[in-house]
A and B are shown apart, each in its own frame.
Chain A
């Protein structure tokens, strides 16, 4: 159960787009379309932003989108806003009823 690999930090200016990558293996990300993304503001609980690679829960802005290619999933945030500044975590089902998270990415809105 090795953690998925995410960049430690990304940044962008308001209105710009950023993409956060999440690299796993053929045993997790590459084998299941069960990647989800979570946003976490400091001192708060995580909240679901994307599920099943590309699906967006009701109430989540359409500025957030997900994709996957091979063993790497990605979260794209378009039209960056100040309130998007947070930590983002990817997660993948890893088989045998286990899950694995990424190490997290700190998004800074400049």
Chain B
């Protein structure tokens, strides 16, 4: 069955960097686009970024553009999110989600919590 397992969350100071990972299994990772979606504590979902199945295209939400970078390693079935210049408002649970034909998100991981605080 499809499994997505995020890791790499933690507490980080404002202005610092953090890299999240999402290990995928149960499907042919290299044939699916992947997303990151985040959820601030007690708040709603916010789309963060998408990467094409082959890594050829990447798109970002306005709030993270220029600071976050999505990437993937198809040989290791892993999705990444490099987060630089972190701000307090980036505090959230970060979910990776599988893309279905660039139409919707059909499977989600359990999320990893990122806390940006001094």
Interface residues of A (CB under 8 A from B): 1, 3, 34, 36, 38, 44-48, 51-52, 57, 89, 91, 93, 96-104
Q: Is there contact, CB below 8 Å, between A46 and B44?
A: no
Evaluate contact between A36 and B102: CB separation under 8 angstroms.
no
Q: Contact at A96–B59, with CB atoms within 8 Å? A: yes
A51 to B100, CA, bound (A): 10
User: Taking beta carbons and an 8 Å cutoff, which residues of B are in contact with A?
Assistant: 35, 37, 44-47, 50, 57, 59, 61-62, 95, 100, 102-111
Closest to B44 in A: A104
Please indicate the chain A residues that have their CB under 8 angstroms from the CB of B110 in the complex: 44-45
Partner of A100, one of B47, B100, B104, B108: B47
Is A97 within 8 A of B57, CB to CB? yes
Q: Kindly provide the distance from the CB of A63 to the nearest chain B CB, expressed in whole angstroms.
A: 20
How close is A76's CB to chain B, nearest CB, in angstroms?
18
Beyond A46-B37, A97-B102, 18 additional pairs, beta carbon < 8 A? A1-B61, A1-B62, A38-B105, A45-B95, A45-B108, A46-B108, A89-B44, A93-B102, A93-B103, A97-B57, A97-B59, A98-B59, A99-B47, A99-B50, A101-B37, A101-B45, A101-B46, A101-B47
How many whole Å from A47's CB to the nearest CB in chain B? 7
In the assembled complex, the Cα of A44 lies from the Cα of B111 at a distance in Å of 9
Select from chain A the residue with minimum beta-carbon distance to B6. Answer: A45
Q: When chains A and B are docked, how far (Å) is the Cα of A48 from the Cα of B44?
A: 15
Measured between alpha carbons, how far is A97 from B102 in the docked complex, in Å?
A: 8
Query: How many Å from the CB of B24 to the closest CB on chain A?
Result: 14
Complex CA gap A52/B62 in Å reads 24
List chain A residues, Cβ under 8 A from B46. 101
Let me know if A52 and B111 touch, CB within 8 A: no
